[in-house]
Amino acid sequence: MNHSVIHAPETSLGLSSPESDVNNSPGKSPGTTTKPRGKIRRIVSLVLGGIGPTLVLIGFAAVFYFGHRNDWKIPKFAALTGSAEAVRTDWCEEHSVPESICVQCDPTLMPKGPDYRWCPEHGVHNCPLHHPDVAQLKETPTVLASDLERAARALAIAPRKENNSACAVYETRIQFASVESVKQAGVDVELVERHPIVESISGSGEIVYDPTRLASLASRLPGSVWMVQKNVGDKVAKGELLAVIDAPEVGNLKSNLLRSLAEEKLQQQNVSRLTQAREVIAGSLILDAEAALAKAQADVLNAEQSLRNLGLPVQVDSLRSMSDRQVLDSLRLLGIPDEIRSQLDSQTATTNLLPIVSPIDGAISKRTVAPGEVVDPTRILFQVADTRQMWLTLSVPLESMDQLAVGQSVRFQADGSRHEVQGQLDWISTAADKQTRMVQIRAVLPNSDGHLRSETFGRGQVILRNEPDAIVIPKGSSHWEGCCQVVFVRDKSYFDSPESFKVFHVRSVRLGATNGNYTEVISGVLPGEVIATVGSDVLRAQLLKNNLGAGCDCVAE
Ligand SMILES: [Zn+2]
Ligand SMILES: [Zn+2]
Ligand SMILES: [Zn+2]
Ligand SMILES: [Zn+2]
């Protein structure tokens, strides 16, 4: 209600005068020089210093526009002395609009909608999720059950910045004199939309082989490397030959088996012979022979098992029906695949050959052996990795532990790669790093296309929420007012006619996650509403000014 009506002599004046006035005294509004309003006014001037000229322009534009529209006398300005002396009629200094249309000063001009006050569930005033009629839309929108569920998820997953339930800022309306003055203030608007929002916890990560799918292979016996079949990077199938070791112990074990088989045969014949002569010999002789046979059979089993322990697939039953010569041929190249056998002269080849085969499907990730080298069981010759599945280890902040759970979806992008891989969180460390206060978590990532490589680094995300239809506003279009996060919602009747009030409603909002240029609104606005985006700082400044004037302390915090 602060009127600044200053009468000045009517002199001729160009329309450029207001601008030159602005240039002469930047940062000051017309009222300041002629009618200071004490301490609060000065504070406002200081605070608004940066945008002072803009507000001045708004003021002038408003006066001119309003004057034209209502066929009034155009206000005259005296620039002769260089001081700003304006003729002002019908002007609300506090709200920067003509007094006759100032809805803040005279709310009956534009009755306020219902006041539903604080929503404890969503932490906003006039919660549109519960009271969609507060939306600045021509028709009351329908709030879907999925909207309420999404808001509940968003509030459950992480602590969100709290608004002050006692804050009265949401009752404020910010008015412009005209559409032109909104444009001149540089205020731009955008629709509240639906857009996918992903909320995640990210951290730097490293890819390693899945140790449960990693085989380190050594020779099971000492010997020398007779042949190497595979190189680093070669794909191998389970059971495929990697190398052949010449191990004398293998020859010995085969000899043992041969000898045991011969002994078993001998004792078998002995028992048969004695049994046929049962009538004429002592029973104890038969018992002794049977004991000797049992021992020979045990020796065969032992010899067979010793070879099997080396991975040599010996079939004793079939050997028993063979001639000695056939048995020798069968054992000589035991375990050596046919394609290698064909390269060897089976009559003269050593019987010491011990094949090393891959125990899994995978690829050779390490090879530390060359033909001719002497090896023993303590030395790792090959590492075979099944790379169809890899481990991702991520370091995430200790504070995020409450939000993590095994089974959550994890995304990873290796440095320098555009390929994103998705897997599942399957382990969370029970300890944090002493220095960094980071916690290690692990995900298993599928890698059938081979994009992931061991010991590479990148960024990983644990997906907490993946909301395809979140309610979003442009990032940066909401403001923290000391105790409330607010947006400026354009009145639904804004464009009804030139006379309709050019009003933005202050609405408290609760923000969720931000992805790129989109910020999720948990509650506070609904899709289709129009909010100030670019230049909304002008509205913020006006809000600050209004509330300082009204003595609202929370805004100044
Ligand atoms: Zn007013
Ligand atoms: Zn609510
Ligand atoms: Zn307040
Ligand atoms: Zn407040």
From the list 382, 419, 75, 354, the residue with the least C-alpha distance to 215 is: 382
Three-state DSSP at 349 gives: coil
Q: How far is residue 358 from each of residues 6, 24, 241, 411, 452, measured CA to CA in Å? A: 97, 87, 7, 31, 22
- Residue 65: band (very low, low, confident or very high) from pLDDT cuts 50, 70, 90: very low
Predicted local distance difference test score (pLDDT) of residue 114:
93
Q: Kindly tell me if the per-residue pLDDT of 69 is higher than 50.
A: no
Output the CA 163–ligand 4 centroid distance in Å. 8
From the list 442, 438, 435, the residue with the least C-alpha distance to 460 is: 442
Please give the average per-residue pLDDT across 260-276, as a whole number.
92
Q: Kindly tell me if the per-residue pLDDT of 338 is higher than 90.
A: no
Task: For residue 147, give both structure tokens.
Answer: 């909207």
Q: Kindly tell me if the per-residue pLDDT of 20 is higher than 70.
A: no
Least confident of 152-156, 176-180, 324-328, 460-464: 324-328
Output the CA 91–ligand 1 centroid distance in Å. 8
Please give the average per-residue pLDDT across 303-313, as a whole number.
92
Q: Are 437 and 388 in contact (CB under 8 A)?
A: no
Output the CA 479–ligand 1 centroid distance in Å. 23
Output the CA 43–ligand 2 centroid distance in Å. 36
Predicted local distance difference test score (pLDDT) of residue 152:
97
Instruction: Please report which ligand is nearest the Cα atom of 485.
Output: 4
| Same domain flag for 115 and 70 | no
**Cα distance between residue 397 and residue 42, in whole Å:** 46
Predicted local distance difference test score (pLDDT) of residue 456:
93
Three-state DSSP at 294 gives: helix
| Same domain flag for 124 and 92 | no
Instruction: Please report which ligand is nearest the Cα atom of 119.
Output: 2
ipTM over 0.90: no
From the list 530, 515, 516, 534, the residue with the least C-alpha distance to 464 is: 515
Output the CA 224–ligand 2 centroid distance in Å. 77
| Same domain flag for 260 and 340 | yes
% pLDDT > 70, the chain: 82
Which residue, 330, 351, 372, sits at the end of a domain? 351
Predicted local distance difference test score (pLDDT) of residue 83:
41
Which residue, 78, 101, 124, sits at the end of a domain? 101
**Cα distance between residue 178 and residue 328, in whole Å:** 106
Least confident of 253-257, 293-297, 341-345: 341-345
Instruction: Please report which ligand is nearest the Cα atom of 96.
Output: 1
Residue 459 is assigned to a structural domain of this protein: no
- Residue 89: band (very low, low, confident or very high) from pLDDT cuts 50, 70, 90: confident
Residue 1 is assigned to a structural domain of this protein: no
Q: Which residue has the higher pLDDT, 340 or 239?
A: 239
Predicted local distance difference test score (pLDDT) of residue 76:
39
Q: Kindly tell me if the per-residue pLDDT of 219 is higher than 70.
A: yes
Predicted local distance difference test score (pLDDT) of residue 30:
41
Give the position of tokens 């005068």. 17
Output the CA 96–ligand 1 centroid distance in Å. 7
Give the position of tokens 């048995």. 327
Residue 215 is assigned to a structural domain of this protein: no
- Residue 279: band (very low, low, confident or very high) from pLDDT cuts 50, 70, 90: confident
Residue 420 is assigned to a structural domain of this protein: no
Output the CA 556–ligand 1 centroid distance in Å. 20
**Cα distance between residue 394 and residue 504, in whole Å:** 45
Output the CA 7–ligand 4 centroid distance in Å. 39
Q: Kindly tell me if the per-residue pLDDT of 477 is higher than 70.
A: yes
Give the position of tokens 């915090």. 557
Residues with CB under 5 A from ligand 1 (ion): 92, 95, 102, 104-105
Please give the average per-residue pLDDT across 391-411, as a whole number.
93
- Residue 204: band (very low, low, confident or very high) from pLDDT cuts 50, 70, 90: very high
**Residue 531 sits in a domain of what CATH number?**
2.40.420.20
Please give the average per-residue pLDDT across 490-510, as a whole number.
95
| Same domain flag for 23 and 40 | yes
Least confident of 25-29, 124-128, 332-336, 452-456: 25-29
Output the CA 537–ligand 3 centroid distance in Å. 18
Residue 436 is assigned to a structural domain of this protein: no
Q: Which domain holds residue 339?
A: 248-351
| Same domain flag for 91 and 113 | no
Predicted local distance difference test score (pLDDT) of residue 81:
38
- Residue 346: band (very low, low, confident or very high) from pLDDT cuts 50, 70, 90: low
| Same domain flag for 47 and 136 | no
- Residue 88: band (very low, low, confident or very high) from pLDDT cuts 50, 70, 90: low
3-state secondary structure 302-323: HHHHHHHHCCCCCCHHHHHCCC
| Same domain flag for 492 and 525 | yes
Mean pLDDT for the chain overall: 83
Q: Give the type of residue at 8.
A: A
Q: Which residue has the higher pLDDT, 282 or 417?
A: 417
Output the CA 53–ligand 1 centroid distance in Å. 20
Predicted local distance difference test score (pLDDT) of residue 51:
44
Q: Cβ–Cβ contacts within 10 Å for residue 460, how many?
A: 29
Output the CA 127–ligand 2 centroid distance in Å. 5
Q: Kindly tell me if the per-residue pLDDT of 269 is higher than 50.
A: yes
Residue range 422-448, pLDDT digits in tens: 999 999 999 999 999 999 999 999 998
**Cα distance between residue 197 and residue 512, in whole Å:** 9
Half-sphere exposure of 258 (CA within 13 A, CB side): 17
Q: Which of 63-67, 275-279, 366-370 shows the highest mean pLDDT? A: 366-370
Instruction: Please report which ligand is nearest the Cα atom of 486.
Output: 4
From the list 411, 397, 391, the residue with the least C-alpha distance to 455 is: 391
Predicted local distance difference test score (pLDDT) of residue 58:
43
Output the CA 524–ligand 2 centroid distance in Å. 8
H-helix or E-strand containing 507?
A: strand 502-508
Output the CA 548–ligand 4 centroid distance in Å. 12
Residue range 29-41, pLDDT digits in tens: 443 343 444 444 4
Predicted local distance difference test score (pLDDT) of residue 36:
43
Please give the average per-residue pLDDT across 74-94, as a whole number.
55
Residue range 461-471, pLDDT digits in tens: 999 999 999 99
- Residue 537: band (very low, low, confident or very high) from pLDDT cuts 50, 70, 90: confident
Predicted local distance difference test score (pLDDT) of residue 31:
39
Output the CA 169–ligand 1 centroid distance in Å. 16
Predicted local distance difference test score (pLDDT) of residue 205:
95
Q: How many domains are contained in the chain?
A: 3
Q: Kindly tell me if the per-residue pLDDT of 96 is higher than 90.
A: no
Residue 8 is assigned to a structural domain of this protein: no
Please give the average per-residue pLDDT across 7-27, as a whole number.
39
| Same domain flag for 151 and 130 | yes
Output the CA 546–ligand 4 centroid distance in Å. 12
| Same domain flag for 191 and 133 | yes
Instruction: Please report which ligand is nearest the Cα atom of 164.
Output: 4
Predicted local distance difference test score (pLDDT) of residue 201:
94
Residue 80 is assigned to a structural domain of this protein: yes
| Same domain flag for 80 and 155 | no
- Residue 199: band (very low, low, confident or very high) from pLDDT cuts 50, 70, 90: very high
Output the CA 168–ligand 3 centroid distance in Å. 5
Which residue, 313, 329, 351, sits at the end of a domain? 351
Predicted local distance difference test score (pLDDT) of residue 553:
55
Please give the average per-residue pLDDT across 113-121, as a whole number.
95
Output the CA 484–ligand 4 centroid distance in Å. 5
| Same domain flag for 75 and 126 | no
Predicted local distance difference test score (pLDDT) of residue 347:
63
| Same domain flag for 494 and 547 | yes
Q: Which residue has the higher pLDDT, 350 or 234?
A: 234
Residue 401 is assigned to a structural domain of this protein: no
DSSP category for residue 28: -
